[in-house]
Structure 1
C-alpha cells in the first residue's frame, strides 16, 4: 500500500496550533522517514525508535499531536502514557488494554477488528512466572543445592541428597520439596507464557494482513509510548522487554519517548551503581533520535505559556520595554534578555522559572516590577551565597556583574523627548547591572524616602522606581516608616527558591 506523505496535511483540523517549539517539522521528517522505511523494508520484524529528549523540550506534545495527525491520515496509531499507568503491577497488561481500547474503536466497522480480538484473547495465559531465574540462584545459595539437584526437584525426582550438618532437619527437607513443586509449576507457567507470545505474534501478523486488505487504513501501525523515564525503573524495563518480545512483527512500529540518561541512571537502583544503563537500554531500540534543542526564545515563551503566572491583563508589569522597540514585548521577552545577560541555557531557564512562577503568583499588588524580581531570581539560581551577600551589602553589584552578568546585553529604549513612534526620537540603552543597581539603592527605603528622591521628571530606568511613589497606603499606615511592595521581593525569592 502506498503511504501518503505527511506533507498532505489536513484542512479541517490543525493538531499543531499550540506548537510553541516548532515540533511539527520534526514529526513531518520522522513520519516521512518511518513510512518510507516500511515501504522499503515491509518484512522487517517490527521497529522501535527511541525519541530521546530532556524534560521541557516538547516531547510529549510532539508525540500526542503526531499520533493524532497519523490517525487523521488513516494510520492506526495509539498513544500510551506509561507514567499514568505506573500504578499497575503489570505494565504490559496496561499497555495492551490501552491498545485494545483505541484500536477497537478505530476498527469497529472493518473485519480487521476480529483479528485484533483474536490477538488479545491469545494472551490469556500470559502470566508472570512465580519464581524467576534469579530466585533459583538465591535458592542455591540458601541451601547449598547444586543445579543438578534443582533440576531433579523440578522433574520430581528424589530429594534425598546430602545436607550439611546445619541443614539436617525434616522441616528443611519438606521446604525444599515444596519449593521443587513451585519451581515445576513456575516452569510450566513460563512455557505457557512463551506459547502465548508465539500465538500473540501470529495473531498480530494476521491483523497486519487484514489491514493490508483494507482501503480505509495505511501501514505501518504506530504505537507511541511516552513518559517512560518517569516510571519506576522495574516497570519501565518490564514494559520495554515486553514490547521487544511481543511486538516484533512486520508492520508494527514503536516510538518510545524517553530521557535515556535519566532512565539509565535509575536502572542502577536495580542492577547496581556500576551498571551502564544507557548501553543496556540501547538493546531495546533499533534507532535513537535525539530531539534537537528548541529555539531559546520559543522555549522561554513556552515556559510562560505553561505557567500559572496571572494573566497580563490582571496586572501592570513595569518592564520598561516599548512596543516600538520590542514588538510583542512582555515578560517572555524580558526573561530572555535576563537569561542572555546571565548566560544560562534551557535547563537553567527551567530552574529560574520554578523560582519566578511561585514568586509572581504570590504578589497581590497590581503593579509588579519584574526587572527587580528577575534579577533576584537569576542571581539566586546562579549563586545563592552571592545573592545573600549582595543584599547584606557584603559585596556590591560590580562584584556580581563581573562574575555573572554580560554587560554587552543591553535594553534599548527611547528617551522622554521621543514620541515613542518607531521612527522618531533618540535611542539609548541600559544594562542589567544598572537597572539592578537602582532597585538595590531604593528597595529598603520607606515610601517617603523614595518619593522625596523623585520630585521631578526622570529618565528610564529611574522611571521604574518613580512608579513606586504611586503606591497607596492604608489610612492607618505612615509613609515615613512603611516600605514599598518591592521591599518584599528578596524574601519572596528566598521562599520560592526552596521549591525543588
Structure 2
C-alpha cells in the first residue's frame, strides 16, 4: 500500500487538504443518500483553471481512494478521437472488472464473467441504436423509403400505355393527371409508417438502456460480494474534459447522466468550467446559457482555490525544467520568492504569472552567456509586455519607470556575504531595479568606472548596494571582453525588450 507521504510528497500546490475533505464529503454523502433511499449516481464537478493542478489532484485523490474503493481513471482528451464517449467509459469499466476475474473463487469469478457478458450485450444494442444519431439516421432511411414509395404509387397510377413509354417527362405529366386523389393518400400512409417505426425504435433503445443500467448494477453487486474486493462505491475519475472537442465533451456528460445513473458509482469530473462554458456557447450560440446548462449534469461543484504565487511558480519551474541558475534576483535572494513578491506587488493574476513564466522560461532556454539575467529588470519588463506597454521607451516618463515607482515600497536587507558582524543595509527593491535599468542603457565600461568611483568617493567598501551592482556589471564586462565588443556598447540589459518580444512570440 502506498503511504500518504509518498502520494503527496510532491504536492507543491498544497492540495492534500482538498483531497481529504472531498473524500470525507463524498463518502458521507453516499451514506446519507442510501439512508434516504435516494438512488442513482453522484457527479461532482472539480472546477479549476487550466494549469492550476487539476490533473495532479485527480491522480493523487485517485490513489487515495484506491486504498479502499474501486477506482477507474479516464483521460477524456486522450480518447476524444472516438465517435462516442460511451464506448470509452464501458471499455474502462470492462477492463477494471475483467482484471478481477482471475482472482478469487471460481464461482464468484464465473458470476462476474457472466455479468460482464450481459453488460457488453446491452452495450452493443445501445451502440447499434446510435443514441441521438438514430433519429437522424432513421429519418434519412425512411425519407428514402418515402421517395421510393411515392415513385411506386405514381408508376402504378399511370395508364399502361404511358408506363411503357420511355419519355419520362411525358409519363410524369400524364401520370400527375391520372393519379388524382390517390396521391393525397400517400403522405398520411407514410407518416403513419414513419411514426410507428420511430416509436418502435425508441422503445427498443429505451429498453436497451434500462437493461444496461440493471446489468451494470448486477456487476457492481457481484463484485462487492467477492472476497477481498474493495468496498463500494466505485469512483470514476474523468480528467481533461475541458480540452476535448465541445460536441464530445457534451456527449460525455449526457452519457454519464442518462446511461450511468446507477447506484454505487460516484463520478469526479475535472473541468475548467468557465472555458468549457465558452466552448459550449461556440456550439449553441453566444446567447445560450451554457453555465446553467452544465449545472444540470453535476450534483455539486468543488472549486479548487487558486494556488499562492510562490507555490505556483515553484510548480511551474519543476514542471518545465526552467534553469533558474541563469537568473539572478537582488542580492542573491531566492528566485522563486522574489518573482512571487514582485508579481504580488504588480498585482498580477495567476494567468499573467503563468504567461510571464512562459516567456522567462523561453529566455533562459536561449540564454548562453556566462553571466546571469538580471531578474529585477527583466521580470517587470515581461509584465509590461503582457500589458502591451511600451517596454522599449527609456525616457523619464516611460511605462517602466512609472510602474516601478508606483509599486508598494519593498525593502531588501543586504548583508555582506561571508563576513561576521558585517554592515547591514536596507535598499528599496524598486529603486534597485531602476538603477540597474538606468545603468543598462549606458556604455558598460563607463558604468563599471562610474560604480568604482562612487564606491571610492562616497562610502568606501561599506556600500553593499553599490558593490553588488558593480560586481554584476563587472562580471558581464569580463565575460564580454573576450568577445571584443566596442567600447561604447551598453549592457545586454538594453536588449532585454527585444529578447522579451521574441520570446513572447512563443505560444
Counterpart position of 2:343: 339
Which residues in structure 2 correspond to 1:207-246 (within 5 Å)?
A: 207-214=219-226, 215-246=228-259
Aligned match for 1:489, one of 491, 496, 502: 496
Structure 1 counterpart SS, 2:261: coil
Correspondence for 1:27 among 19, 23, 28 = 19
The 1:96/1:135 distance shift into structure 2, 3 A limit, reads closer
Match of 2:448 among 446, 451, 464: 451
CA contact (8 A) 1:76 1:217 kept: yes
Higher gyration radius (CA): 2
Give the TM-score normalised by structure 2: 0.79
Contact 1:51 1:290 in 2 (8 A): yes
Matched residue of 1:124: which SS?
A: helix
Picking from 35, 41, 45, the partner of 1:50 is: 45
Report what 1:200 is aligned to.
212
Q: Is 1:98 paired with 2:106?
A: no
- Mapped to 2, the partners of 1:231 and 1:321 lie a distance apart of 46
Q: Retained in 1: the 8 A contact 2:246–2:283? A: yes
Q: 1:465 to 1:118 in 2, by over 3 A?
A: farther
Residues 1:368 and 1:78: Cα distance change in structure 2 (over 3 Å) = same
2:432 is the alignment partner of 1:435 = yes
Per-residue deviation, 1:160 = 8.0
1:366 aligns with 2:342: no
Q: Distance in 2 between matches of 1:196 and 1:495?
A: 58
Residue 472 of structure 1: which of 474, 480, 484 is its match? 480
Q: Report the CA distance between 1:213 and its aligned residue.
A: 1.4
| Matching of residues 186-197 of structure 1 within 5 Å | 190-197=202-209
- Shift in alpha-carbon separation, 1:28–1:41, aligned structure 2, 3 A: same
CA distances 1:423-447 after superposition (whole Å, capped 9, x unpaired) = x444333334312222222223343
Aligned-partner SS, 1:224 = strand
Q: Distance in 2 between matches of 1:255 and 1:401?
A: 45
Alpha-carbon distance in structure 2 between the residues aligned to 1:499 and 1:178: 60
Q: Deviations over 1:146-174 (max 9, x none)?
A: xxx99x969x999989xxxxxx9999999
Distance 1:30 1:130 in 2: 34
Q: Which residue of 1 aligns with 2:121?
A: 121
Alpha-carbon deviation of 1:335? Answer: 0.8
CA shift digits 1:116-144 (9 cap, x unpaired):
443233201222258566899x99xxxxx
Q: Tell me, what secondary structure is at the counterpart of 2:72? A: strand
CA distance in 1 between counterparts of 2:191 and 2:439 reads 78
Tell me what 2:81 maps to.
87
Write out per-residue CA displacement over residues 411-470 of structure 1, whole angstroms, 9 at most, x where no aligned residue. Answer: 3322x4x6466xx44433333431222222222334333332333656325243343233
**DSSP 3-state at the match of 1:292:** coil
2 CA distance for matches of 1:131 and 1:180?
A: 21
Match of 2:403 among 394, 400, 403: 400
Structure 1 residue corresponding to 2:71, chosen from 69, 77, 80:
77
Q: Please give the TM-score of this superposition, normalised by the length of structure 1.
A: 0.80
The farther-off stretch of 182-191 and 366-375 is: 182-191
**Structure 2, unaligned stretches of length 5 or more?**
155-171, 177-182, 456-462
Q: Does 1:295 align with 2:300?
A: no
Q: Is the 8 A contact 2:389 2:399 kept in 1?
A: no
Work out whether 1:411 is the aligned partner of 2:412: yes
Q: Is the 8 A contact 2:448 2:473 kept in 1?
A: no
Mapped contact 1:52–1:257 kept (Cα < 8 A):
yes
Structure 2 CA distance for aligned equivalents of residues 181 and 129 of structure 1: 21
1:133-144 equivalent positions in 2, closer than 5 A: none
Whether 2:385 is the aligned partner of 1:380: answer yes
Query: Aligned partners of 1:263, 1:176: CA distance in 2, in Å?
Result: 44
1:201 deviation in Å?
Answer: 0.6
| Distance in 1 between residues matched to 2:17 and 2:503, nearest whole Å | 36
Write 1 or 2 for the structure with the bigger share of helix. Answer: 2
* Equivalent residues, number: 455
Deviations 1:386-434 (A, max 9, x none): 423x3466627542335xx4232333322x4x6466xx44433333431
